[in-house]
Structure 1
């Protein structure tokens, strides 16, 4: 029979809220298994008769019998006709496992990661957000997305493709979507793309990881913008690359620093249409100089065109890839910001020699692609709905940017100065008062407002103090409420600061 402590342990398993979703027999089986693995029930020890245990636990005998049957099937107990149930004879290995070990991992101990794993872990990642708080940047408005239209197109796909959509799909991506992407970037971005040069991915972040691991070896140099998009920097750091920061001015990345650098680099990563986070656009002369440098050095240009759809002043410039006659440019785009984050579809337009290697690598990392969402998106684009949605959101975002700039000037004057961009989904603000960047970030978080600090986006973490304010996903009323909270929070910090 069980001791009182053992019976109490089983009862605790039955009553624990975390186990509420488990059937009763599974909870009893898990509880007894833990007693065996922890050494509380040694090899050969008898278990209570099923009828007696059922009475003690207040359950049916069949429930206990089901638990015993599973324990027997897993080899934890032996059942002898006429004698009852006993803890199985444990092997020497299992007994060694049961004993407490001084070198066992604790929850608060440092995990034994590789150098690359440690870099990836400490660089942080995205956190699940059911409804983003103002002013989380990079998030589009999703409440106005035409869901009924999307659902209708998806039903059409399932009706016409049938069960074929449930099977493994093309590792390069569904051909109709690749063709739709090629047509779109050729028309809207001035690219030179064909369907066979498009690789469909889950995100631009996956594209960065592929570029980092497939084009460069650990220790090799890559030029990056300074300040830089943190996602790209994390991908390159995780791959063990030597990231060389190149300054950015109002004309974009300073290409002359790249050309004059005496040491060779294998690649350069940039956001030329709308530099993150400054908003600068790379001028044509610098684009052409960069293309010439890449051709002479046999280097790669990694062009992240992350939110080029949203340009509010004048017409957006053509992408670098469309200007490059030497096929040294990899063009990366995403639908995460133009449509909705849950879609999980991005893409890369690749030089022909890289298509097959990149496709194989993507398959190694991620298996095959998800066809239903891709085929639905292809229909959404072919029917002109994507263009219509982008045009509608461009108008909404331009209005929200204007509203946010006005709110910052009205309520945060003396604390920050807004730098109104010509495009994108976020607005940089430079701190002008006595409140430090860290103090501003901490105060905002306590007030329920999310800000992205600017100085950490610079190579040495010593850039100008300020923050980014995302505006696309928030209504004017939501933004006004949040800006007022910031104003109160900043005033409280200022009042506590010593003179």
Structure 2
């Protein structure tokens, strides 16, 4: 190696810099330093042939990763990918532009002033007690639940809740009933856990209970979206709710109730949640603030039967420990102060108006292609094709012009359901909806001519 003085001069740097670099190379075994002789590249001939051979092997080897069966299932599912910048008509996206950000900032400052550096420490894996109490009070009042703070587990999302339920309540190969069509995130979570998903058809009254009650093979759980079924928007009737509660009790099975978007109900009052009707305590109630407030909050929750609180809380510590304390305490104060309820009421009116606008636009501009299935709640509307056109080609063509659609047929277990797409409307103004619908109409005309 060049002498340190000569190298420093040629590079125009301090000799101390060269000496420091040589010392680091020597410490890491790349060079040998011999007093009176200088610095030399270290001899590693003993390992070099094996190292070179390994490099060649890696270059020519199959690059497919070696995953476990569960890992491969998770990878093949495609996950649940959310758009960083939502495009019309991405489903499930709330309007963040109308969120009272200054009020949230003021609330957070109040929390930090009162709690101080305590908010910077690790929080309880079960969630901050003030937030758990606020959640319990809210779901009891608004959803007719039977919750208490000690039964609430604060999580990062409803998706995390479903993954925990799949892992903690069922073993690979065991059966779970799931709505058909169903929310793709839930199906992916259960598939990744190695469960056998048994699809059950949905009609205008929600999931059909007869196939469940008459199935001779035992299932350990059922996954439901009873408030308004995803993606059809159907509400599960009371007699079916009671039948499923009785089925779960008799079979020692679990009901996983995903009460997504329950805050946004546009026709009359929403039906009480299944968990509130279940006096046998076989229902796990899942909710999230991602849709009702803003996606970046990353706070969801589960109301658990008492005997599941400790095991599932311990299981969540293996995934991510706990959610952020500052966000939890701010949200708790936001809910306690009545700001959450006020925001939901405001947005419910805005979303109802946007749903009405979208419905009229679809009838006017897309009427020759689809029939809108107007929901009574939620942040998206499904549209079914009434002409012979490829669902896949329409979705791909729409994406090329900046429009995001979710195909309906892919939400069915056999991928052969009625063709169409979901249109999210909540995050877009009436003017933006009109521009996007007209652009989609042009795209559909082009695809139909093909």
TM-score (norm 1): 0.86
Report the equivalent of 2:433.
479
1:65-464 correspondence runs (5 A): 65-90=19-44, 92=46, 96-104=50-58, 109-127=63-81, 129-464=83-418
Distance 1:481 1:107, change over 3 A: farther
Q: CA deviation at 1:95?
A: 5.6
Distance 1:104 1:294, change over 3 A: same
Structure 1 residue matching 2:308: 3-state secondary structure: helix
Task: Write the deviation string for residues 298-329 of structure 1: whole angstroms up to 9, x where unpaired.
Answer: 10000000110000111100000000000000
Structure 1 residue matching 2:255: 3-state secondary structure: strand
Task: Write the deviation string for residues 256-309 of structure 1: whole angstroms up to 9, x where unpaired.
Answer: 110011111000001000100000000000000000000101100000001100
Task: Write the deviation string for residues 124-149 of structure 1: whole angstroms up to 9, x where unpaired.
Answer: 12446332111111111111211111
Q: CA deviation at 1:108?
A: 7.4
Report the equivalent of 1:18.
none
Please list every run of 5 or more consecutive structure 1 residues that lacks an aligned counterpart in the other structure: 1-46
8 Å contact kept, 2:374–2:382: yes
Q: CA deviation at 1:63?
A: 4.7
Distance 1:317 1:77, change over 3 A: same
Q: CA deviation at 1:460?
A: 0.4
Please list every run of 5 or more consecutive structure 2 residues that lacks an aligned counterpart in the other structure: none
CA distance in 2, matches of 1:119, 1:58: 56
Task: Write the deviation string for residues 69-123 of structure 1: whole angstroms up to 9, x where unpaired.
Answer: 3323323223334433222343845763343445427797211001110110111
CA distance in 1, matches of 2:7, 2:260: 62
Structure 2 residue matching 1:492: 3-state secondary structure: helix
CA distance in 2, matches of 1:445, 1:338: 26
CA distance in 2, matches of 1:105, 1:360: 42
- Count of residue pairs brought into register by the alignment: 450
8 Å contact kept, 2:79–2:188: no
Q: CA deviation at 1:58?
A: 6.6
Cα RMSD (Å) of the superposition? Answer: 1.9
CA distance in 2, matches of 1:481, 1:52: 69
CA distance in 2, matches of 1:69, 1:494: 70
Higher-Rg structure is: 1
Distance 1:58 1:402, change over 3 A: farther
CA distance in 2, matches of 1:467, 1:141: 21
CA distance in 2, matches of 1:399, 1:62: 70
* Higher RCO structure, 1 or 2 (CA under 8 Å, sep 6+): 2
CA distance in 2, matches of 1:370, 1:105: 42
Structure 2 residue matching 1:435: 3-state secondary structure: coil
CA distance in 2, matches of 1:60, 1:127: 51
